[in-house]
């Protein structure tokens, strides 16, 4: 039987609170983000964690600290991977989302945020993120799940969207309507190839 895969998006960051595109900018989570992440950890107490991952960006490290504190499992083995870093927003990094929306219009803004293969100058599309996330998932995570280990991954909205696209078999078109929110966890069991066999959502 598959181990459990627990996917969590980082808590509210300082730039989330300001409505800015963060991308690879290394900002911290807010006090509220830390508080809610601890509460989410408390909701996950039915699950023991064997290995926990965060990205190279400190907002995921801080979120994982808080979740594991709430879970009462702060001594879990921890690993870090740049494969699950957030999407690089290139020239849009640091800009206010609402300002960009006003400048380019609703349709172009939606494509920019949610489109599968929408290029960004000096940045990445979701397809680019998928290209770096998938080998990490298939080669590092799936073997552990097949061994029955429970793995927690604290990532970012787009790196988790990319992973869920593969796990749930979401099409290129339909992935635009999927959003991974703050303060929730998706808990999966998967088959030998890493596709979903069961899924539950745990949230606040």
Give the CA radius of gyration of the chain.
16
Q: Catalytic residue among 12, 86, 124, 182, which?
A: 86
Side-chain-side CA neighbours of residue 81 (13 Å) = 22
Residues 9-27 have pLDDT tens digits of 999 999 999 999 999 999 9
- What is the pLDDT averaged over residues 104-119? 91
For the chain, give the percent of residues with pLDDT over 70: 100
Instruction: Identify whether the C-beta of residue 184 lies closer than 8 Å to the C-beta of residue 203.
Output: yes
Identify the pLDDT of residue 141.
Answer: 98
Q: Catalytic residue among 10, 124, 156, 182, which?
A: 10
Correct CATH for 5-203 of 3.40.50.1240, 1.10.3980.10, 3.30.43.10, 1.10.760.10: 3.40.50.1240
Judged by average pLDDT, the poorest of 8-17, 38-47, 130-139, 173-182 is 173-182
Q: What is the C-alpha to C-alpha distance for residues 182 and 203, in angstroms, rounded to an integer?
A: 9
Identify the pLDDT of residue 190.
Answer: 98
Identify the pLDDT of residue 157.
Answer: 96
Identify the pLDDT of residue 14.
Answer: 97
- For the chain, the average pLDDT equals 96
- What is the pLDDT averaged over residues 86-103? 95
- What is the pLDDT averaged over residues 29-56? 97
Instruction: Count other Cβ atoms within 10 Å, centred on residue 159.
Output: 28
Q: Going by C-beta distance under 8 Å and a sequence separation of 6 or more, which residues neighbour residue 115?
A: 125, 126, 176
Identify the pLDDT of residue 131.
Answer: 98
Above 90 in pLDDT, residue 180?
Answer: yes
Identify the pLDDT of residue 1.
Answer: 78
Domain spans of the chain, in order of start: 5-203
Q: What is the largest CA-CA distance in the chain?
A: 51
Closest by CA position to 156, among listed 25, 62, 23: 23
Tell me the whole-structure pTM to 2 decimals.
0.96
Q: Running DSSP on this structure, what letter comes out for residue 102?
A: H
* 10 belongs to the catalytic site: yes
Q: How many residues does the chain have?
A: 204
Instruction: Identify whether the C-beta of residue 41 lies closer than 8 Å to the C-beta of residue 66.
Output: yes
Above 90 in pLDDT, residue 33?
Answer: yes
Identify the pLDDT of residue 7.
Answer: 98
| Region at 48 (left for phi over 0; alpha for psi -120 to 50; beta for the rest) | beta
Identify the pLDDT of residue 18.
Answer: 96
- What is the pLDDT averaged over residues 160-176? 97
């Amino acid at each position: 039987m598959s181990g459990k895969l627990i996917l969590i998006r980082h808590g509210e960051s300082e730039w989330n609170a300001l409505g800015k595109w963060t991308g690879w900018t290394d900002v911290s989570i807010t006090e509220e983000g830390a508080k809610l992440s601890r509460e989410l950890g408390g909701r996950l107490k039915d699950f023991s964690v064997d290995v926990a991952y965060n990205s190279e960006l400190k907002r995921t490290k801080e979120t994982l600290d808080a979740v594991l504190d709430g879970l009462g499992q702060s001594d879990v083995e921890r690993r870090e991977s740049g494969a699950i870093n957030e999407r690089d927003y290139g020239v849009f990094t640091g800009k206010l989302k609402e300002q960009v929306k006003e400048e380019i219009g609703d349709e172009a803004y939606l494509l920019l945020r949610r489109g599968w293969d929408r290029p960004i100058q000096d940045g990445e599309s979701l397809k680019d993120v998928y290209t770096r996330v998938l080998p990490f998932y298939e080669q590092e995570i799936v073997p552990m799940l097949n061994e029955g280990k429970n793995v927690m991954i604290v990532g970012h909205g787009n790196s988790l969207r990319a992973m869920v696209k593969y796990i749930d078999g979401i099409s290129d078109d339909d992935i635009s309507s999927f959003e991974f929110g703050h303060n929730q966890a998706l808990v999966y069991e998967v088959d030998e190839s890493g596709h979903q066999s069961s899924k539950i959502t745990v949230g606040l």
